[in-house]
Structure 1
């Protein structure tokens, strides 16, 4: 791959090592921009309406975000290969994770009837503004589907030996299956939140978020580096699950108490939809009978006050700290390279203590 800039999309050359976080994100976004430009041109040639459809998909992919999944995958890879290996060969694989993430977000927003994402209208709202709600939902589902196909196409461009690609694909597929399984459990929980529990909420967090945010991106990066490195696999798995759960627990808190101007989403959405998050399940476990009765009938603002009064937010904060400690301990005691260990320790803190 040429080491050049893409006007309007890539702010700097695709990096050689060492790579800063900013340079890595720029490289991933440049790879996405190159790929998506070609996809748009191909469909635009079929029908201008398809060009508009794919431009909307592109805008959703490129609309900011933390790019946390390719970042974890990068450090999973870098933890094995060292500081001199150029990143260009694995950029398609890293960028593919963002396309998969967009698929998950777009479908999740349809299911949750979310109005905004990253401070902008969600996909189904954008399309609904054109031709109504039914069209909006249908077009958004198709955008998500298209992003998942694009992720497969981009992943296939990764330059690696066949044995490595087989293992990478196996971990990628496992990541997708677990994310869909977790999403189903999340939807199921909303149908009967009274029968849910803290333990089941954590199971949802483990599959819906932890597995495809941290655990499997790390394992995916490890597979990109070298098939069969079992010495790091266990450490990455322990770290990934622990930090991934901490990430979701922080999301639970932000969903109730976060600043919409920072999170890009309305406060209280989880309470409004009755989503049985770990925070809500913990509040029910810790609440008095009077608090339980009021939670069942209160509005969103009052529910947030009652949850705070139970002490559940403080308990969830402690759960976050426990998981970060577990993840950091696993990576500290592992044979990962020193620069990757430092980065992963920093990422554990950043993922679990963030404003959005």
Structure 2
């Protein structure tokens, strides 16, 4: 397969330019309201422009091109709105998971707690940080709407894309709640683990961006169905890779402490497989220590050993490969423009074979 690093880098640059222009305008608006809003502008610019793979706009763009759409800056601007949905989800996710870092920097709630401490304001720093993260996440979700509508696309095209955009955002929130519910209820069924993976991440990482691109290009229903057949298993494989990295990833690469998912008590496919296949004593250890916020490096190493020796890691890797193969087979059969199909294959590889 021919690799297109320039194509991917160029698209990423265009998405980031659209985000930078939009956020600069929002900074100016907030500055006209109150100087105290400057930390919000700083935080959102650092978070949105400071990193990220930009996979969602890339899948959406090549979904659009695969449906015969022309390369247009207004389309790229519209698809950049996906990064604001992602920012909202991550800000809220970090708060719910009590994660201290994101991409090697303080999570938004920690950033504002530190601001509270520096300024020696009244009240609790943690509560202030949580409130700021909730509100900034909400603001990013509102802004995703604004960026879509202000992209320059004509109203008819925007209206055609709205149902996909709205369903995507609704299902992200549903998936987040199911994740929280699964941790609280300690549900260890394969069915629930797959359901959480699909709704929390899979659908809005690959399937819905593809469908958004298809809607912008006014694609026929047959192509949208083909995109779903490709995007849903690939998105689940993406999430399973994320789950593996949450346990075995290098903190330098992931930007998060090793074993964070274990401390948070995530009932992922990886953990479900470990509980199903580990020796009884090891299963008891997982049940007793999973979700402990005080889990130290030795505890993380012990759980990693159990996950590996139980075959859970190998089973998860095999399932990732199975899902990816199913996705690529669906793409092969899809009526997609050849250049776009090649780029979608490259994006699929980037989604499941990654270290961050």
TM-score higher than 0.5: yes
- Other-structure match for 2:325: 325
Q: CA RMSD in A?
A: 1.4
Q: CA deviation at 1:19?
A: 7.1
Correspondent of 2:130 among 119, 129, 137: 137
Q: Deviations over 1:178-207 (max 9, x none)?
A: 1111100000111122x3311110100000
- Tell me the distance in 2 between the aligned counterparts of 1:130 and 1:152: 29
Q: Check conservation: 1:168, 1:224, Cα contact below 8 A.
A: yes
- Other-structure match for 1:11: none
Q: Check conservation: 1:160, 1:224, Cα contact below 8 A.
A: no
Q: Secondary structure at the match of 1:113?
A: coil
- Other-structure match for 1:224: 216
- Tell me the distance in 2 between the aligned counterparts of 1:224 and 1:68: 18
- Other-structure match for 2:203: 211
TM-score, normalization: structure 1? 0.91
Q: Check conservation: 1:210, 1:245, Cα contact below 8 A.
A: yes
TM-score, normalization: structure 2? 0.91
Greater relative contact order structure (CA < 8 Å, 6+ sep): 2
- Tell me the distance in 2 between the aligned counterparts of 1:112 and 1:73: 28
Q: Secondary structure at the match of 2:43?
A: helix
Q: Secondary structure at the match of 1:114?
A: coil
1:339 and 2:344 are equivalent in the alignment: no
Q: Check conservation: 1:181, 1:207, Cα contact below 8 A.
A: yes
Q: Deviations over 1:132-186 (max 9, x none)?
A: 1110000111110111111110000233444432221110000001111110000
Q: Report the CA distance shift for 1:34/1:160 in structure 2 as closer, same or farther (over 3 A).
A: closer
- Other-structure match for 1:80: 67
Q: Deviations over 1:284-341 (max 9, x none)?
A: 1111212212223353221111111100000000100011111101111111000011
- Other-structure match for 2:296: none
Correspondent of 1:108 among 75, 78, 93: 93
Q: CA deviation at 1:350?
A: 1.2
- Other-structure match for 1:234: 225
1:265 and 2:250 are equivalent in the alignment: no
1:47 and 2:34 are equivalent in the alignment: yes
Q: Secondary structure at the match of 1:81?
A: coil
In structure 2, runs of 5+ residues without a counterpart are: 117-124, 290-298
Q: Secondary structure at the match of 2:67?
A: helix
